[in-house]
């Protein structure tokens, strides 16, 4: 397709036309003018760079509307696989101005929704110039509800001048459809990532853009009204659109500075329309880098408080949510909940509180009931939020105490391995990233950060076996030989590694039954399992390395880092270990 040039790009157009003429002349000439073409090409690149470095907001709006700019369907073709478009709102009709459907992103099932403009006159009419009617927004809401039902992330792409203002659209409830989407998206229980890829016009854009993360392309615009509309209202003429664009602050950089968008994605030199393939890869990389959300079990004690703040300090962009379980079993329960709320408010963490009602009697004892009820509450919230990875803040002291508890109870070798770093329960993967971190280190870090936390008064109740071990046995052992606690934790790790075939509840893949399968089937099984654990599909190169490690190498040991995990082969099993404090 022949390149179209905007008004402010005419000097660039003149140079490129000259280069094209020279190339045409070179084909019919014996004179070598390649050096001149190269000189003009470099001059053109410099001019493009200088021009786009000082664009006014109005010029950015012109770039955002460029007729050759990639649209939603272009990105779907380049970024996603297995796209299956879904049509209709199940009430009135289908609206081609909004497209959407199921797809896979790096192997992960997702729901994709976006505005769609047209390339030529016929398609522009069919797509209504990317201006949705009520049925379009209701279709989008239907797709979001479907995503929520099946626990799929929603990826939306915004590119519209605004909602269609026609009489028919108003009669069918345009404002109600937009308002309902805003309300529903604010409460949707699955992650939503929105990218403004072109124009973000008013409520017509916002109706698919109430998201957990909002990104904008470098030359996209986002505003409550178009510059022309604003100028017509304020100055009674659309000719002052440039002034309106300046006043509205419609550019990605301005909105990022105001905190209204989370990230600006750079475009290729000269805008996305000059290199759609490169822009697609940049957008794909940005979407892939978006961290999967985590759920932290927050007691408001020292360990979980430090873990929450550590995540905020080490990974400020991490989407973190927290759950506090109020068992209601002691007088300080309300204080714990208040501390958890204050901490989450301070560090901008979405907190869910679950208040439990204890039974009149306990079949297996109070501790067993509290532990089981806590896990059930966590798993219910994880399901509601469509989250699959939960962080627990157990540390080295807890692990060493568990060793002696299980030794006293006679649980055998399996119990002496203690708490595994990774546990699978149903659809939830629990991760304990601090099992080798001493409580004294957490205490020092909390003091350095100036943190406050609640001490559980029941920790001093020596009717509980763990508390007797903590208060009496552990200090005695440390006084006899300092470092005993660390050596116990190391021993527990060695026990787990020495007999991997008996590890219970660890995230692992049994390689034995797969030995007789074909290499294609083996790779497919590895791909699906690694993606499920890490929430990120492995590249072809990593998958080949992992396949060789698991099914070709005779060593029976080895590891591969991928995402937040180390995948380690131990005999006939492939284990997943988190990399938090590597």
Domain count, the chain: 4
Boundary (domain end) residue, out of 467, 487, 502: 502
- The first and second tokens of residue 420, run together, are 């595994």
Boundary (domain end) residue, out of 241, 257, 289: 289
Q: Looking at the domain assignment, is residue 196 inside a domain? A: yes
- Regarding whether 367 and 282 lie in a shared domain, the answer is no
Q: Looking at the domain assignment, is residue 2 inside a domain? A: no
Average pLDDT over residues 381-404: 87
Please give the pLDDT value at position 497.
54
Q: Is 60 exceeded by the pLDDT of residue 504? A: no
Please give the pLDDT value at position 370.
80
- Kindly state the DSSP code that residue 251 receives in the 8-state scheme: B
In this structure, what CATH number is given to the domain that contains residue 220?
3.90.226.10
Please give the pLDDT value at position 6.
77
CA distance 425 to 375: 9
Which residues share a beta bridge with 577? 566
Average pLDDT over residues 368-393: 86
Q: 502, 451, 421: which is closest to 304 by C-alpha? A: 451
CA distance 335 to 326: 10
Mean pLDDT of the chain: 85
- Regarding whether 107 and 24 lie in a shared domain, the answer is no
Helix (H, G, I), strand (E, B) or coil at 213: strand
Q: Is 70 exceeded by the pLDDT of residue 292? A: no
- Regarding whether 274 and 327 lie in a shared domain, the answer is no
Range of the domain at 534: 508-578
Tens of pLDDT, residue by residue over 167-192, are 999 999 999 999 999 999 988 877 89
- Regarding whether 498 and 561 lie in a shared domain, the answer is no
- Regarding whether 169 and 298 lie in a shared domain, the answer is no
CA distance 503 to 492: 12
Please give the pLDDT value at position 25.
67
User: Within a 10 A sphere around the Cβ of 562, how many other Cβ atoms?
Assistant: 22
Please give the pLDDT value at position 84.
94
- Regarding whether 141 and 68 lie in a shared domain, the answer is yes
- Phi, psi for residue 96 in degrees, rounded to 5: -65, -10
Distances (CA, A) of 7 to 11, 145, 242, 452: 9, 43, 14, 59
Report strand pairing: 428-431 vs 320-326: unpaired
Q: Looking at the domain assignment, is residue 144 inside a domain? A: yes
Radius of gyration, alpha carbons of the chain: 29
Average pLDDT over residues 503-521: 74
- Phi, psi for residue 319 in degrees, rounded to 5: -75, 105
- Regarding whether 138 and 226 lie in a shared domain, the answer is yes
In this structure, what CATH number is given to the domain that contains residue 446?
3.40.50.620
User: Within a 10 A sphere around the Cβ of 451, how many other Cβ atoms?
Assistant: 16
E strands along 409-460, which residues? Answer: 422-425, 428-431
Tens of pLDDT, residue by residue over 1-50, are 567 777 777 887 787 777 777 776 666 555 567 777 777 878 878 888 88
- Regarding whether 258 and 125 lie in a shared domain, the answer is yes
Tens of pLDDT, residue by residue over 239-272, are 899 999 999 999 999 998 888 898 899 999 888 9
Boundary (domain end) residue, out of 254, 289, 324: 289
The b/e string for 6-45 (b: 16+ C-beta within 10 A; e otherwise) is beebeebeebbeebeebeeeeeeeeeeeeeebeebeeebe
Report strand pairing: 154-160 vs 192-201: parallel
Which residues share a beta bridge with 103? 110
Q: Looking at the domain assignment, is residue 487 inside a domain? A: yes
Q: Looking at the domain assignment, is residue 1 inside a domain? A: no
Average pLDDT over residues 504-518: 75
Percent of the chain scoring above 70 in pLDDT: 91
8 A C-beta contact, residue 78 and residue 284: yes
Please give the pLDDT value at position 581.
42
- Regarding whether 127 and 169 lie in a shared domain, the answer is yes
- Regarding whether 101 and 26 lie in a shared domain, the answer is no
Tens of pLDDT, residue by residue over 324-335, are 998 877 778 888
Q: Model confidence at 501, in pLDDT bands (50, 70, 90)?
A: very low
8 A C-beta contact, residue 527 and residue 537: yes
- Regarding whether 267 and 123 lie in a shared domain, the answer is yes
- Regarding whether 100 and 167 lie in a shared domain, the answer is yes
Percent of the chain scoring above 90 in pLDDT: 39
């Amino acid at each position: 397709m022949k390149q179209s040039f905007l008004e402010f790009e005419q000097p660039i157009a003149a140079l490129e036309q000259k280069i094209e003429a020279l190339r045409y002349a070179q084909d019919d000439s014996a004179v070598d003018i390649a050096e001149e073409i190269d000189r003009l090409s470099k001059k053109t690149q410099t001019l493009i760079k200088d021009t786009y470095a000082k664009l006014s907001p109005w010029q950015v709006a012109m770039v955002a509307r460029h007729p050759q700019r990639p649209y939603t369907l272009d990105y779907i073709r380049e970024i996603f696989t297995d796209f299956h478009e879904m049509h209709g709102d199940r009430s009135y009709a289908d609206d081609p101005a909004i497209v959407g459907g199921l797809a896979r992103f790096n192997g992960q099932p997702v729901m994709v929704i976006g505005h769609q403009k047209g390339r030529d006159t016929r398609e522009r009419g069919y797509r209504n110039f990317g201006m949705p009617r009520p049925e379009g927004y209701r279709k989008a809401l239907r797709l979001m509800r479907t995503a929520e039902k099946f626990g799929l992330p929603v990826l939306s792409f915004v590119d519209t001048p605004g909602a269609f203002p026609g009489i028919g659209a108003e009669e069918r409830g345009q404002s109600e459809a937009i308002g309902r989407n805003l309300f529903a998206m604010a409460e949707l229980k699955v992650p939503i990532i929105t990218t403004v890829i072109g124009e973000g016009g008013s409520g017509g854009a916002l109706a698919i853009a109430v998201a957990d993360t909002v990104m904008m392309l470098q030359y996209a615009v986002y505003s409550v009204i178009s510059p022309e509309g604003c100028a017509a209202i304020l100055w009674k003429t659309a000719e002052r659109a440039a002034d309106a664009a300046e006043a509205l602050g419609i550019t990605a950089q301005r909105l990022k500075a105001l905190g209204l968008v989370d990230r600006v994605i750079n475009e290729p030199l000269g805008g996305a329309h000059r290199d759609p393939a490169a822009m697609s890869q940049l957008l794909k990389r940005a979407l892939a880098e978006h961290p999967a959300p985590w759920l932290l079990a927050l007691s408001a004690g020292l360990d979980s408080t430090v873990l929450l703040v550590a995540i905020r300090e080490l990974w400020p962009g991490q989407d973190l949510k927290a759950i506090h379980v109020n068992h209601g079993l002691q007088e300080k329960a309300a204080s714990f909940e208040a501390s958890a709320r204050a901490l989450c408010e301070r560090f901008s963490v979405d907190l869910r509180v679950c208040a439990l009602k204890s039974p009149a009697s306990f079949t297996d004892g109070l501790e067993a009931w509290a532990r089981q009820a806590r896990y059930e509450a966590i798993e219910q919230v994880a399901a509601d939020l469509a989250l699959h990875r939960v962080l627990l803040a157990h540390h080295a002291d807890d692990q060493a105490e568990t060793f002696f508890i299980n030794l006293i109870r006679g649980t055998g070798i399996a119990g002496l391995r203690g708490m595994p770093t990774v546990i699978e329960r149903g659809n939830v993967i629990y991760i304990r990233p601090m099992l080798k971190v001493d409580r004294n280190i957490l205490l020092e870090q909390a003091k350095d950060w100036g943190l406050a936390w609640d001490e559980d008064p029941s920790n001093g109740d020596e009717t509980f076996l763990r508390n007797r071990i903590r208060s009496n046995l552990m200090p005695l052992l440390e006084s006899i030989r300092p470092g005993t606690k660390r050596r116990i934790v190391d021993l527990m790790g060695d026990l787990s590694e020495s007999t991997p075939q008996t590890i219970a509840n660890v995230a692992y893949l049994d390689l034995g039954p797969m030995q007789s399968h074909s290499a294609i089937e083996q790779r497919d099984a590895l791909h699906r399992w690694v993606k499920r654990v890490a929430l990120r599909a492995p590249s072809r190169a990593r998958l080949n390395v992992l396949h060789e490690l698991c099914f070709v190498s005779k060593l029976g040991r080895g590891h591969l880092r991928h995402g937040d995990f180390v995948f380690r082969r131990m005999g006939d099993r492939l284990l997943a270990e988190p990399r938090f404090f590597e």
